[in-house]
Amino acid sequence: MRLARPFNVFVGGQAIDRGVTLANLIGFYYGRRPNRFQQDTVLQHSRMYGYRRDHLPVTRFYTSQYLWYAMADMEDFDSSLRDAIVSGGDREVQFIRQSENGRIVPCSPNRILVADTQTIRPGKRLVPFGFQTRDASGAQGVNAIVAGIDQWVRETCGFGARRPVEVPYDVICGILDSIAETLEFDADARPFSWDSTKAVLRHLCTQGRLDGIPGGVLVWAADGRTSARKAGEGSHAIYVETPDSTRTEGRIADEFALEMPILFLLRQNGTESQGWRNTPFYWPVIRAQKSAKAAVYTPQVVGDDPPPVTRRRGSTRVIAARRRQPRARSTR
């Protein structure tokens, strides 16, 4: 394209789609939000990639927080695959998924929806954020559910214990289900699926076990926490994403989460001054064990209906949350 002026602004959709190259493009505004992200399409639509190394200091990209999270997941996925290939090991990238009976089975790489992935590495954190507590009233309100979890924690591991305790995977799933009933996510929050989280946790619990049956999860709990809901001024994030700390939870994970994943149950005071609704709640944080193998998890594969969303070395694995029903193939 011949540009007659030193500064130009391009606005359009299909007219400046992937087939058009614009030299010296340094400012981008991207707001396309599809129902299902396809990595190659998103990266080409956003137009920010290309050889512009000399212009990086003055290049700016503007998008919504929701789209930023999706692009961060794409970069995490690419980095994981690149590390697995460059580092050597067995030089194998395995694509696997979870079948209907919970077993891990091979999956064809061309069925993976890359944009719906979640990278798992040793010490990887799985933590929800961008949520608000639900209504605290009623028999099934937040207070009643939290009181039930309180009793379970006191009987199982206590608050602020010296060391975590091992709890069966199925019991942990019940605790996570209870916590999910107390939280609701904002529209612009990072998509978080409790079902996907439990599937990832199951995968971590089955590593090193020949029978494929998930083992235990380490649990450690704390109370009296005062994490805010939203990040302060000057932060690059909207919501607080780190209710855990490296000094406490990080040290415990480094010391004990060697062969099993660990779940931190952080009981928050939930005061109004911190942005909550003046009711306590539990903020769960899951950390993968140090011995965890690199994995890339996807909640669905090509052909699946969209799943419900609540708004090293060695091989890389890709897991899907459920099995796709067979469909007739096209004759084309």
The whole-chain average pLDDT of the chain stands at 78
pLDDT digits (tens, 9 = 90+) for 141-150: 889 999 999 9
Mean pLDDT within 274-292? 94
Band the pLDDT of 19: cuts 50, 70, 90: low
Predicted confidence at residue 67, as pLDDT, reads 81
Mean pLDDT within 103-111? 51
- Which of 14-18, 74-78, 102-106 ranks highest by mean pLDDT? 74-78
Residue 331 has pLDDT above 70, yes or no: no
Around Cβ 194, how many Cβ atoms within 10 Å?
19
Distance CA 258, CA 53 (A): 41
Quote the crossing angle between the two packed helices 39-46 and 65-86, to the nearest 10°. 120
Distance CA 198, CA 177 (A): 10
Predicted confidence at residue 240, as pLDDT, reads 93
Mean pLDDT within 156-162? 96
Predicted confidence at residue 81, as pLDDT, reads 67
Band the pLDDT of 126: cuts 50, 70, 90: very high
Predicted confidence at residue 244, as pLDDT, reads 96
Mean pLDDT within 102-108? 51
Helix (H) or strand (E) holding 324: none
Q: Record the tokens describing residue 233, joined without a space.
A: 């001024």
Residue in 76, 79, 120 with CA at minimum distance from that of residue 96:
120
Band the pLDDT of 47: cuts 50, 70, 90: low
Q: 10-48 as b/e, with b when 16 or more CB fall inside 10 Å? A: eeeeeeeeeeeeeeeeeeeebeeeeeebebeebbebbbb
Predicted confidence at residue 132, as pLDDT, reads 94
Of residues 67 and 184, more confidence is placed in 184
Distance CA 222, CA 268 (A): 9
Q: Record the tokens describing residue 257, joined without a space.
A: 């989460």
What's the sign of the alpha-carbon dihedral 61, 67, 73, 74? Answer: negative
Which residue spans within 25-116 are E strands per DSSP? 27-29, 60-62, 93-98, 104-106
Of residues 319 and 15, more confidence is placed in 15
Residue 32 has pLDDT above 70, yes or no: yes
Residue in 285, 268, 69, 297 with CA at minimum distance from that of residue 186:
69
Distance CA 212, CA 201 (A): 13
Q: Record the tokens describing residue 217, joined without a space.
A: 């999860």
Q: Are 287 and 264 in contact (CB under 8 A)?
A: yes
Note the pTM of the prediction, 2 decimals: 0.71
Angle subtended at Cα 305 by Cα 92 and Cα 318, rounded to the nearest 5 degrees: 15
Band the pLDDT of 320: cuts 50, 70, 90: very low
> At residue 148, what is the residue type?
G
Instruction: Name which of 67-76, 81-90, 200-209, 219-228 the model is least confident about.
Output: 81-90
pLDDT digits (tens, 9 = 90+) for 180-201: 999 999 887 887 889 888 888 9
